[in-house]
Structure 1
Amino acid sequence: MRSTLMAHALVVGAGIAGEALAVTLARDGWRVTVVEVAPELRTGGQTVDLRGDSRQVLVDLGLIDEVLAHLVPQRGIAWIRADGSRMAEMPVEAFGGRGLISSEELLRSDLARVLHGAAGAAGVEYRFADTVEQLTDTAEGVEVRFRSGPVEVFDVVVGADGSHSRTRSLRFGPESAYRKPLGLAHAWFTLREGPGTPPLDGWALSYNEPGRRGLTARPGHPGQQEIGMTFAASTVPRAHDARLAVLDDAFHGAGWRAAEFLAAARTAPDLALDTYDQIHIDRGWSDGRVVLVGDAAWCASPLSGLGTALGLRGAAELAEALRRHGVSAEPTAERIRAAFSSFEQVMRPRAAAAQKLLPGRVRMVAPKTRWGIRANAVVMRVVQAPAFLRVVRFLAGGRGHGDGAGPEPSHAERSRQAG
């Protein structure tokens, strides 16, 4: 039976979308429990920017100043040769600040920590090193069996557990039914600088080898660089040693800093490896009292550059829909269904727009031939010419960071404007 008169939400996943939703629901009077399979908040990860939806949602949460204190200095991105010389570069000022790199970027882990702190202050309960094992509908709500053993009933269950969502698998079926692989895999980790480490001076550096292999080094915390290693693959192993073997095989003999990165990956505590995928769920993002948000519902892949913006906006819209339908005061099945339907009506056009990657985006990240690598550098120089700006904006087709991605202002945006 339900242990409290307060509406009780279970959020599965302590990522960006899950943490943002937990903050908002707790402030709205919900009892919120977050369950996270990792033993603690995840460290490392890519940098995320604060353009469009990301910034506005954080402003609405009252967290923007704290987030801005964690910015990583950024000057732009440069495409380089094996000797480090530059073929092309795109400063943060390109396209009026709407280029590939923003002047306002921070590590994903820093953003997650800010949201986590706000959620804790709002009274959110956390359970790390645990996850859901079974979801069963009852007359009172959703009966959840946790891996650690307990069985509890919640009014709402939110799957915010990423593109490989366990919540989605339990309720909507196997990942294979919704996964669209893009043909690339990506490893990322933090490299600690030593006396001989080449400095970045605020620039993200991108190097490509024929055969769809790419290396990137981006500014991180002082004394650290965030490393990315991209290669052709549609699946990756789960075991740590097997992952290292895959990286060794993919980048054996590669130039620039490949040998240095391979050695650093072996001792990096935050090494992660995953495929670039999209998630398409045509049947809808909710089932009864269970709903998906963020990458679990609509992963557009890191190649979209919109994962954080969509996760934050999705959390805001879901909370607003639950608020507008009075679910916290009266968590009936009918009110919950209406709220979930309203949430999806707003977010699906935004997610669909983000999933429409720019033409050639996958090839641009990892060209197949030397000619393709050179052509990519030429394109990066040419598109920044004033005469091409209108063409680039047309090709982008509204795939901005939430600003203009939807056909009309969202419910959360209207509420903010009305307030």
Structure 2
Amino acid sequence: MPRVLVVGAGIAGDTVALMLGRAGWEVTVAEIAPELRGGGQSVDLRGDCRAVLDRLGLLDEVLARLVDQRGAAWVDGDGRRLAEMPVEAFGGNGYVSKEELLRSDLARVLHDAAGAQVTHLFGETVEALEDAPNGVSVRFRHAPPAEFDLVIGADGAHSRVRRLRFGPEEVFRRQLGLAHAWFTMDETPATPPVDGWFLTHNAPGSRSVEARPGHPGQQEIGFTFAAATLPPRRDREAQFALLDQVFADVGWRTRELLAAARQAPDFALDTLDQIQLPKWSDGRVVLLGDSAWCASPLSGLGTALALRGAAALADAVEAADALRLPHRLSDALTAYESAMRPRVRDAQRLFPGRVRQAAPRTGLGIHTVAWLIRQIQKPPLAKTFTRLAAGHGQGQPA
């Protein structure tokens, strides 16, 4: 039986593992985290997501885990609303959606669905990939070496598989000039409620603070700011010190949320970048999801691309009959890339002004963004933006 190694137990990795496992492949998933990752930002099920999840028989289970989301609002330093956009705006294709859930919940559904069809190795990653006569020889960090017919790198924007096989990250990274920190915060009786709203406070200097609904009794918090480089990912104290410095004079709930960041086990900080490669496969090694094409969280399409990409890769492998005829694997990987390239290209063309809207530089810019948000929801602009929003990121049947 042909063997496939998937590196990364995220949305893309576990989806392709599930589909190839059902197709008869012997699938192993290596995940560097010691267990399935918790927390994480909300993910949007618009576009291709519903079709792929329905095909997998998981749509109802996923829909049962949606967060209570009513809209997005932009607030001043005292919490007064400058503008808001309910989930019904633009025919349900506005800034946020009724159909969002936490990334960790979607990952859990996919992981559990794989069950015994897939072997998961947690706390594990790859150290070397070498071509063998009939496959790829893999040296793991802990597990014994093994050979696989196909290796899929689905290990995110900072992909180890990509670095080992295609080159250093710097070659493929397109910086957008922003950084983002996120974490989960437990509510207390003193915590101001968000009541189902994604609240954003923008401050001059390209800084924003966000609070949005999560699981009951929790809020998902974010800090966005201008930055090209950050402290090392393992140096939490340096990261917290940077946030304290950047947001020292920002109002609203900022001081409370900075303190909460230090207590959050799922705290993460990263730059908002895109990944752009001329080719996603090399021999029997192929990249999938953010490893291949990260469009950045600003696109709002990361989950749709991950699910659709996983389906496209699994479909291409099956269509080429690569299970019985491994020599046709190259054709399958070419077909996968041809299917996904146009979608990725569109997703990486961010909506005009998206970066500046996420973190305006001046007080005038902040009020201009709020004014624009109010105006585009009024006739006659509302009709135009409803049409534009419907076309942005909407998928085709899976």
Q: TM-score range by the shorter chain?
A: over 0.9
Q: Give, in whole Å, the separation in 1 of the partners of 2:60 and 2:83.
A: 34
Q: Does 1:310 align with 2:297?
A: no
1:130 Cα deviation (Å)? 1.0
Q: Does 1:378 align with 2:371?
A: yes
Report the 3-state secondary structure (helix = DSSP H, G, I; strand = E; otherwise coil) of the residue aligned with 2:326: coil
Deviations 1:352-379 (A, max 9, x none): 0000001110000000000000000001
Q: Does 1:44 align with 2:39?
A: yes
The aligned counterpart of 2:148 is 154
TM (norm. structure 1) is 0.93
Q: Give, in whole Å, the separation in 2 of the partners of 1:170 and 1:75.
A: 43
Q: 2:237 aligns with which of 241, 257, 263?
A: 241
Q: Which letter does structure 1 place at the counterpart of 2:35?
A: E
The aligned counterpart of 1:200 is 194
Q: How does 1:155-304 map to 2 (within 5 A)?
A: 155-237=149-231, 238=233, 239-282=235-278, 284-304=279-299
Identity of aligned residues (%): 61
Q: Give, in whole Å, the separation in 1 of the partners of 2:247 and 2:95.
A: 25
Q: Which letter does structure 2 place at the counterpart of 1:384?
A: Q
The answer on whether the counterparts of 2:90 and 2:386 sit within 8 Å (CA) in structure 1 is no
The answer on whether the counterparts of 1:219 and 1:225 sit within 8 Å (CA) in structure 2 is yes
Q: Does 1:105 align with 2:100?
A: yes
Q: Give, in whole Å, the separation in 1 of the partners of 2:387 and 2:355.
A: 19
TM (norm. structure 2) is 0.97
Q: Give, in whole Å, the separation in 1 of the partners of 2:195 and 2:88.
A: 16
After TM superposition, the structure 1 stretch with the greater mean CA deviation from structure 2, 361-370 or 390-399, is 390-399
After TM superposition, the structure 1 stretch with the greater mean CA deviation from structure 2, 149-158 or 315-324, is 149-158
Q: Which letter does structure 1 place at the counterpart of 2:364?
A: W
Q: Quick one: higher RCO (CA 8 Å, sep 6+), 1 or 2?
A: 2
The answer on whether the counterparts of 2:175 and 2:273 sit within 8 Å (CA) in structure 1 is yes
Moved over 4 A (4+): 393-397
1:92 Cα deviation (Å)? 0.4
After TM superposition, the structure 1 stretch with the greater mean CA deviation from structure 2, 72-81 or 144-153, is 144-153
The answer on whether the counterparts of 1:279 and 1:298 sit within 8 Å (CA) in structure 2 is yes
Q: Give, in whole Å, the separation in 2 of the partners of 1:50 and 1:391.
A: 23
Q: Give, in whole Å, the separation in 2 of the partners of 1:108 and 1:214.
A: 22
The answer on whether the counterparts of 2:70 and 2:196 sit within 8 Å (CA) in structure 1 is yes
Q: Does 1:12 align with 2:7?
A: yes
Q: Which letter does structure 2 place at the counterpart of 1:389?
A: A
Q: Give, in whole Å, the separation in 2 of the partners of 1:102 and 1:386.
A: 21
1:328 Cα deviation (Å)? 1.4
The answer on whether the counterparts of 1:54 and 1:312 sit within 8 Å (CA) in structure 2 is yes
1:401 Cα deviation (Å)? 3.6
Q: How does 1:48-197 map to 2 (within 5 A)?
A: 48-121=43-116, 123-197=117-191
